[in-house]
Amino acid sequence: MKIVIIMPKLRYPLKKYIKAVEKIAEEKGLSRVESFPTKGSIVRFELFEEGTDVPTCFWVVHHDHNRKKEIISKEDYRKAAARLNCTLDELIKKIECV
């Protein structure tokens, strides 16, 4: 008998994603998170430690070309979880709570 865990579809708005990333970064002791659009549907995130102007890490995510700006790639959620030293489940729970 196999146990299959079904992950929910990951389609959360960019605004919720940003708020969740900021809250987790605050909990982890990072001083700030900067996010800004670069080209079209690409958004760049940078994490900073206290007293530094150079980001400790960064990543980019892609969103849909619609009003909701939903992030649909599971890899974009994994990137944030890896950079924030948390699990994918913790990130998803934080997004849902925002």
Per the structure, the complete domain to which residue 92 belongs is given by 12-97
Using left for φ > 0, alpha for ψ between -120 and 50, and beta otherwise, residue 29 falls in left
Answer yes or no: is 16 within a domain: yes
The residues pairing with 47 across neighbouring beta strands, listed in sequence order, are: 33, 57
At 4, list the tokens: 């299959």
pLDDT tens-digit series, residues 33-59: 999 998 889 999 999 999 899 999 999
Answer yes or no: is 2 within a domain: no
Answer yes or no: is 61 within a domain: yes
Q: Which residues of the chain have pLDDT under 50?
A: none
Answer yes or no: is 5 within a domain: no
Answer yes or no: is 1 within a domain: no
Answer yes or no: is 86 within a domain: yes
* Domain total in the chain: 1
**Secondary structure E strands in 1-98:** 12-13, 32-37, 42-48, 57-62, 70-71
Answer yes or no: is 81 within a domain: yes
Answer yes or no: is 72 within a domain: yes
